[in-house]
Structures are given as C-alpha cells and as structure tokens.
A and B are shown apart, each in its own frame.
Chain A
Amino acid sequence: MSRAVAPSTACRRHHWRRTLYQLLLAALLTASAQAEVYLTGEQFTQRYFPEQQPLAGQLWLTDELKAAAAPLLGRQPSGLRVRYQRSPDGQRTAWILNEIGKELPITIGVVIDNQQISAVEILAFRESRGWEVRFPAYTAQYRGAQLQQQQLSNHIDGITGATLSVRAVNAVAKLALFYAQQLEPI
C-alpha cells in the first residue's frame, strides 16, 4: 500500500517543484522585460500637471543656442527642436530629454518651476548598469536646483558604479534649466 503511494507523492512533489520553478522564471522574465520603462510620457504629464492640460510647445535649437548649451553637455545638443510642456500660467515647464549614459540613451523627465527644478524622473533606462539613478532618494537631490554659472546650485552626491548615468542626469538637469531660461514669458 505504502509502495503504491510513494511514487505518486514523489511525482506530485516533482510537479509542484517544476511549477514553482516555472512561476519564478516567468516572474523574473516579466520583471526584466518591464524594467526598462518606468513612466510613460503621458503618466509623467498627468503626475506633474494633474489639474490642467499643459500647453505643448517647441524650442528651436539654433546654432547660437546649441553653442551656448555645449558647455553644459560637453558637446552640442543634437536635434533641431526640443518639445516641452508648459502650464497655462507659464510657471511650470516639463522637459523629456534623452542623454546617453554609456552606450544607450536614458530618457529623463525634468520639471521646472520658476527656473528651479521641482522634480527629476527617469522615464526609461536601457543600460545594463547604473539604473540606481531612478531611485527617489537620488533624484530628490535635484529639487530646488538652479543653474548658476553653468553648474547646478545643489551638490549632487554620485552613486558608485553609476558614474556615467549620474553624469547624464546632471547634464540633462542643467540642459533643461538652460532651455527653460530661453522661453519667452507668457
């Protein structure tokens, strides 16, 4: 009797173990597949313009503007226009910019209130290392930062192992502040 039960119990155990492994594998694969985009552009807009639909605008990057922005990035920004969103009263602007960390672009959202950063969000991270820059503990350091003599007024602590990502976020924060300064008041 006991001999008849033992193989079936072992078989059931084996089946459960296999199911558990499959579930774990599926969870890991799902997590890694979804890890890239943390926030879509629409979610970013809804988060920082919850009450009113922002106005869409575009800043044309002239040669003069690119040359003036070059020291902030370490090279001239690419593209001929930058799209942004602005609150109807013109006080708040939001910028979604891409900057390469090591090899792949990091998509970074910067919200600026009265020429001061009020939020930095990592919308998408594509590199294999340096993703720690998306943590709120890191991005909170940019809150209140202004552009002073081409530098951020806040001291930003780096992250070990994420030097290039930190550099990219710093550059984008400065660039967004610079772009915001170029806008005509409403």
Chain B
Amino acid sequence: MAKKPLLSSAMRWHSRVGVALFWLLIALSLSGIALNHTDRLGLAKISLDHSLVRHWYGLAEPSEQPLTLHQRHYQLSAHRSGDTTVGTLVHGGQRVASCTPPIHSALELSNQLAAVLCAQELILLHRDGQLFDIWQPLTGLPTGLVALEKLDTQLIGRTGDGRLWLLDVEQFTATATTATTDPANEFVAVAADQASSVSLQTLLLDLHSGRLFGRAGIWVVDIAGVLFCLLALTGLWGFIRRPR
C-alpha cells in the first residue's frame, strides 16, 4: 500500500483545523482590535444594562427603591470588571464613595451623620449628601459585619455569627460588646438599589479570554491558541515545501 505523503496529510489537517477555528479566529481578532482601542472607543464607559447580560453575569436586577438617608436618595451602581465587582455609591448623579456590593445595612446615626455598611467598608455620610469618611477593615473595622444597629447614640455592628461590636466612628475603634439593642431605638436596614451593569470593555475582555463561558471557555481559547501555532507551523511548512 502506498504511503500517503506526510505533507499532504498535514495540509489536509491544516485546512480542517482552519475551517473549525474560522469563527473563533474572527471573534478573537475583532475583540482584540477593539480592546487595543479601548480608550479611543470609550469601551469602559459603555454600560450594558440588558437583563440578559446581567443574568449571564449573575448580577441583581435594579430595584425601584433607592437607599434613603436624611431624605436624600442614594444608589449603588455596580459593574463587573474582570473577576471583581466594582461598586460606587451615587447621590444625585455624583459619585460619593467606593462601596463593595452588596449594601448590608444603613441607618441615620445622628441628625448630621448616616452610616452605610457595604461588604468591605463602612461609609459615613454627612446629611448634605457628602462623604464624611470611610472605615475599612485594614484600619480597624471588624470583618464579617452584616448589620448595623443603634443603641441610644452609639453604633453597633453585628457580624454574621451574632457577635456585636461597639463602633466608635469618631476614633475608628471597635470594642466587643454584649449590649443588646432596643428594637424601638433601631433605625435600620433600608433596602439598597443594586443597579448593576457590565461595561462593554469587560464583556469584550471576557469574550477574548474565554472567561465569558467559564472555565470551559478558557480551555477552548487555550487550545485554540495552541492550534493557531500549529496552523502557523503547518502553513509555513506547506509554503516552503510547495511544488514549484
């Protein structure tokens, strides 16, 4: 039996792989070109608010009820950037502070100050809507807080496992306490808006890397990368060894 020439067999596989990867190559090329011009095209500023995109990224649907403190309305604007969810507390269209979603709890601390407990920070707001200060775990905020409560004029933080912390927002110190709050004094937990979106840049980046389709997508793009190298090599081989 005559042996098939290795080159013609390789070229046959070259064309099969090329056809199989056609759409993937087009998608990767176009997304790569767009990402190269992110700033010029303003891709980071284009927000994709479609419910399908939100569903795909597992983001909450926006709620109608904003966070209201001192008769001012605040919204949590959140979007995905890579593996991180970036959240911003917004008042009157203006950015107030970074707030890692979700908002666990919020209350009016006095007639001047309000406190908003985000996943990784406690935001203090002045009654005029301005940021007063931010308290983070690395500057002493107890970790794992999920609720704020008020005892007289003192702020109490409650962790997920039920521990209570007396939070001194003046000195940024926290002291473990067993004080129980009087429900009548509580002024707690206003539902927060979770207006979530994904920027076009994030979508294109996730498409380009395959992350959009989870771990399987990353493997597909990795394997495609190896196959592209093989295509280049077999193409070069075919060019060099072509009949003249």
Contact = CB atoms under 8 A, between A and B. Distances in A.
Given A104-B84, A124-B138, A83 B133 contact: yes
The interface size bin for chain A is 20 to 34
B19 to A, nearest CB: 35
A41 B174 CA distance: 14
Interface stretch (A23-31, A95-103, A130-138, A145-153): A95-103
Contact of B172 (A37, A83, A98, A126): A83
Interface string B119-135: 00000001000111110
Interface centre among B84, B86, B139 (most CB of A within 10 A): B139
A78 B131 contact: yes
Interface in A28-48: 37, 39-42
B136 A80 contact: no
A79 B138 contact: no
B133 A80 contact: yes
Contact of A41 (B81, B84, B96, B140): B140
Interface centre among A39, A96, A103, A105 (most CB of B within 10 A): A103
Interface of B: 81-84, 86, 96-98, 126, 130-134, 136-140, 171-172
28 contacts: A37-B137, A37-B138, A39-B138, A40-B138, A40-B139, A41-B139, A42-B140, A56-B171, A78-B130, A78-B131, A79-B134, A80-B126, A80-B130, A80-B133, A83-B172, A96-B139, A98-B98, A98-B134, A98-B136, A103-B81, A103-B86, A104-B81, A104-B84, A104-B98, A123-B138, A124-B136, A124-B138, A128-B82
Would you list the 3 A-B pairs with minimal beta carbon distance, nearest first? A41-B139, A103-B86, A78-B131
